[in-house]
């Protein structure tokens, strides 16, 4: 039996069929990149409309490709938050309708738990206990994990997430969206010539990235002679410095067997290299999702659903735009 995983929290309609061991029988992701491009960000009303158009054909496609019928499904798992309310609503109501029609149970899944499980898709990579760092478009947090279900939050961001600051800095530098990969590419060509602040680097597990972003804005004004590449390299160096310092603190304090890095910014090659060095130095394993599983996808929601089934936890199906990691 399989799980049908549905993810519509933001601007991608993504559906997958996932087995309990994390193997992915089929996945389809419909990106709304072109819908939102002109707005320089996600336009919520257009996002829900695009989800509505894409969702049923995408589910149909995936079921056909995997050669799976409703009878082969153990459950449907669908993101219930955090995310945009209209986008969440499309996924949730579609899942509920199918659940009723097919007689298959439906589980409302925390998107953040999905990201956390993305690392074990296709291959069991994590050894427990683990420390997990989630670096995505909306979140930046570190948590301790004694098993796949049990988290203890160590710290989160007070203001912007890393991904958000990548995107904002990319816009300031005229690199367009999505900002992350553009900044990475520019940073690779440049040199970190500017000494930017490392906010909260030496204080506990909390993060703050909005000051760093403002500092980049000031430097762009004050030092027009510094190239976009060098500016990007300086920004990436500052971000990574903070992220790696926090990860190292957690590794020293929690003595985990694995360090897991998930979320869209985990696609950053510089971050991957930095974390590889850190885990080597401490003799623990580094668990990274393959790049395709780092950003939003239905497969991670499908794998997380198996945890809910196992725990017998079935949250309500009301969209929760601000759902936190602590609530399933
Ligand atoms: P959340 O899961 O917190 O609700 P989200 O789902 O929007 O947010 P993700 O899809 O996990 O976030 O990640 C998107 C973020 O990842 C964007 O901010 C994007 O700039 C960043 N990102 C994507 N690719 C890269 C990359 N190669 N390097 C750095 N950042 C990247
Ligand atoms: Fe996400």
Q: pLDDT tens digits for 284-324?
A: 999 999 989 999 999 999 999 999 999 999 999 999 999 99
Q: Please, are residues 210 and 165 in contact by the beta-carbon 8 Å criterion?
A: yes
Beta strands in the chain (DSSP E): 2-7, 12-18, 24-31, 73-81, 106-110, 130-135, 140-145, 151-156, 258-262, 285-287
Nearest-CA neighbor of 322 among 152, 73, 117, 156? 156
The encoded tokens of residue 174 equal 């005229």
Q: What is the pLDDT of residues 128-145, one digit of tens each?
A: 999 999 999 999 999 999
pLDDT of 241 reads 97
Look at residues 221, 214, 260, 259 and name the one whose alpha carbon lies nearest to residue 238.
214
Q: Which of the 8 DSSP states describes residue 68?
A: -
Which atom of ligand 1 is closest in space to residue 162's alpha carbon? Answer: 18
111 is in an annotated binding site: yes
Confidence of residue 33 (pLDDT cuts 50, 70, 90): confident
What integer is the mean pLDDT of 91-114?
98
Distance (Å) from CA 292 to ligand 1 centroid: 12
Name the percent of the chain lying above pLDDT 70.
Answer: 100
Q: Name which residue sits closest to atom 20 of ligand 1, judged by CA.
A: 180
Percent of the chain scoring above 90 in pLDDT: 94
C-alpha of residue 81 to centroid of ligand 2, in Å: 10
* Residue 213, pLDDT above cutoff 90: yes
pLDDT band at 20 (very low <50, low <70, confident <90, very high): very high
Identify the band that residue 152 occupies on the pLDDT scale cut at 50, 70 and 90: very high
Stated pTM of the model: 0.94
- Is the per-residue pLDDT at 40 higher than 80? no
Q: What is the C-alpha separation between 310 and 83, in angstroms, rounded?
A: 25
Ligand of minimum distance to the alpha carbon of 178:
1
Rounded to the nearest integer, the mean pLDDT of the chain is 95
For residue 148, the model assigns a pLDDT of: 93
Q: Are 310 and 74 in contact (CB under 8 A)?
A: no
Distance (Å, whole) CA 212 – CA 220: 12
- Predicted pLDDT of residue 157: 95
Give residue 235's Cα distance to chain centre: 21
Distances 157 to 85, 132, 140 between C-alpha atoms, Å:
22, 15, 6
Where does the pLDDT of residue 35 fall: very low under 50, low under 70, confident under 90, or very high at 90 and above? confident
Q: Lowest mean pLDDT: which of 59-63, 99-103, 262-266, 319-323?
A: 262-266
138 labelled binding-site residue: yes
Residues around the ion ligand 2 (C-beta < 5 A): 136, 296
Question: What are the two backbone dihedrals, phi and then psi, of residue 26, each rounded to the nearest 5 degrees?
Answer: -160, 150
Ligand 1: residue whose CA is nearest its atom 31: 180
Q: DSSP class of residue 21? A: T
Atom number in ligand 1 closest to CA 166: 20
Map tokens 């060095």 to a residue: 277
Which residues does 150 contact at the CB level (< 8 Å), separation at least 6? none
- Per-residue confidence (pLDDT) for residue 312, from 0 to 100: 97
pLDDT the model gives residue 169: 96
Ligand 1 neighbours, Cβ below 6 Å, are 10, 82, 111, 115, 136-139, 163, 166-167, 178-181, 184, 263-265, 267-268, 295-296
pLDDT digits over 166-203, tens only?
999 999 999 987 889 999 999 999 999 999 999 999 99
Centre of ligand 1 to C-alpha 90, Å, is: 22
Coil, helix or strand at residue 12: strand
Point out which residues pair with 107 in neighbouring strands: 77
- Strands across the sheet containing 151-156: 151-156, 140-145, 130-135, 258-262, 285-287
Which tokens in the block code for residue 118? 């993305």
Phi then psi for residue 287, to 5 deg, are -110, 115
| Residue 147, marked binder | no
**H/E run at residue 291:** helix 291-294
pLDDT score at 34: 82
- Given a contact cutoff of 8 angstroms between Cβ atoms, the answer to whether 250 and 142 are in contact is yes
| Residue 226, SS3 per DSSP | coil
* pLDDT tops 90 at residue 36: no
Query: How high is the pLDDT of residue 43?
Result: 83
pLDDT at res. 38: 76
Residue 101 marked ligand-binding = no
CA distances from residue 256 to 172, 178, 203, 311 in whole angstroms, order as listed: 38, 33, 20, 23
Dihedral (C-alpha) 286, 289, 295, 299: value to the nearest 10 degrees?
-140
- DSSP sequence for 239-287: HHHHHHHHHHHHHHHH--SEEEEESGGGG-HHHHHHHHHHHHHHT-EEE
């Amino acid at each position: 039996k399989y799980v049908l995983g549905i993810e519509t929290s933001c601007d991608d309609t993504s559906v997958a069929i996932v087995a309990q061991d994390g193997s992915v029988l089929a996945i389809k992701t419909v990106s709304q990149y072109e819908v939102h491009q002109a707005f320089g960000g996600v336009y919520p009303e257009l996002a829900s409309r695009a989800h509505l158009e894409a969702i049923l054909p995408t589910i149909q496609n995936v079921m056909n490709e995997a050669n799976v019928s409703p009878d082969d499904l153990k459950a449907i798992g669908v993101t219930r938050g955090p995310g945009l309310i209209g986008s969440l609503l499309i996924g949730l109501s579609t899942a509920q309708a199918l659940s009723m029609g097919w007689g298959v149970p439906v589980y409302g899944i925390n998107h953040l738990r999905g990201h956390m499980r993305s690392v074990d898709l296709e291959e069991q990579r994590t050894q427990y206990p683990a420390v997990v760092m989630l670096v995505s478009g909306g979140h930046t947090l570190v948590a301790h994990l004694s098993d796949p279900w049990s988290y203890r939050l160590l710290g989160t961001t007070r203001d912007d997430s890393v991904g958000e600051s990548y995107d904002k800095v990319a816009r300031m530098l005229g690199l367009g969206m999505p900002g992350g990969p553009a900044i990475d590419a520019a940073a690779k060509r440049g040199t970190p010539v500017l000494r930017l602040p490392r906010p909260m680097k030496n204080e506990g597990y909390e993060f703050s990235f909005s000051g760093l972003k403002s500092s980049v804005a000031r430097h762009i004004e004050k030092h027009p002679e510094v190239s976009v590449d060098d500016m990007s390299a300086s920004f990436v160096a500052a971000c990574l410095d903070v992220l790696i310092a926090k990860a190292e603190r957690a590794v020293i304090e929690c003595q985990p067997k694995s360090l897991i890095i998930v979320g869209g910014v985990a696609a950053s090659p510089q971050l991957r290299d930095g974390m590889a060095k850190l885990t080597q130095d401490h003799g623990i394993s580094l668990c990274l999702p393959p790049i395709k599983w780092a950003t939003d996808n239905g497969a991670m929601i499908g794998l997380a659903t198996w945890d809910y089934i196992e725990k017998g936890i079935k949250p309500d199906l009301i969209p929760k735009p601000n759902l936190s990691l602590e609530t399933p």
